[in-house]
Amino acid sequence: MAGRNDYLEHLKAVPLFAACSRKELQRIARASDETTIAAGTEFVRQGEIGREAFVIVQGQARVDRNGKKVATLGPGACIGELALLDKGPRTATVRAETPLTVLVLGPREFSGLLDEVPGLSHKLLTALASRVRELDRRVFG
């Protein structure tokens, strides 16, 4: 198991956390748990209610939406972050293509971070607004 500070670069690569300071990233790393996922394991299922987010530290994952492959994700990718905000259904299914090492951030830990780091909410809203604008640009030009 790597040290929490070793994960800062992975967290910094996550668009949702990209604007965070080193101190904020350290708090996020402390609030998360490291786990491994075996190759072939489906760990996020489209339509199911999400409760946690995953940041890939090592390995590759396949993302399917409506049964069709839409992406392959690797280190630094965040999966399921919307579930931390709205506890809504997953928008895709994700399967480990190789053994994965991930950081898992649960809803209680995430809520604690928002309380503990007041500026984090604003940074997350800014990152999400940027994502919405990018999706809007892709769909509507």
CATH code assigned at 118: 2.60.120.10
Domain that holds residue 81: 4-131
* Cα gap 72→48, rounded to integer Å: 20
Would residue 114 count as lying in a domain?
Answer: yes
pLDDT of residue 59: 96
Would residue 138 count as lying in a domain?
Answer: no
Would residue 26 count as lying in a domain?
Answer: yes
Q: Would you call 3 helix, strand, or coil by DSSP?
A: coil
Would residue 116 count as lying in a domain?
Answer: yes
Would residue 137 count as lying in a domain?
Answer: no
Residues of the chain with pLDDT under 50: 1
Q: How many distinct structural domains can be found in the chain?
A: 1
